[in-house]
């Protein structure tokens, strides 16, 4: 993976997406809410796109806040 790869973070519900987005903004992680790509099945229609070089911090932040997330490399979907 290159450091330009975007990642898709998929959550169980909309509440988790909003909470994760709020946490990303608080930590100044560049992210944005987007529709879940059609190749990914999700109960929630929204997900977060995040840059590769913030992935480790993002994952730790989600774990710290007890938010379940499934990650997909954007270029692999």
User: What pLDDT score was predicted for residue 71?
Assistant: 95
Query: Measuring CA to CA, how many Å separate 54 from each of 29, 39, 44, 50?
Result: 7, 24, 23, 7
CA dihedral 76, 55, 2, 33 (to 10 degrees): 60
User: What pLDDT score was predicted for residue 42?
Assistant: 62
Whole-prediction pTM value? 0.86
pLDDT digit string (tens) for the chain, length 77 residues:
556 689 999 999 999 999 999 999 999 999 999 999 888 876 678 999 999 999 999 999 999 999 999 999 988 88
């Amino acid at each position: 993976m290159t450091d330009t790869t975007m990642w898709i973070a998929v959550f169980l519900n909309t509440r988790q997406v909003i909470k994760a987005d709020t946490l990303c903004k608080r930590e100044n992680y560049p992210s944005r809410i987007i529709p879940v790509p059609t190749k990914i099945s999700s109960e929630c229609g929204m997900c977060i796109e995040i840059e590769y070089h913030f992935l480790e911090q993002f994952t730790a932040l989600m774990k710290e806040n007890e938010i379940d997330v499934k990650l997909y490399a954007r270029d692999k979907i």
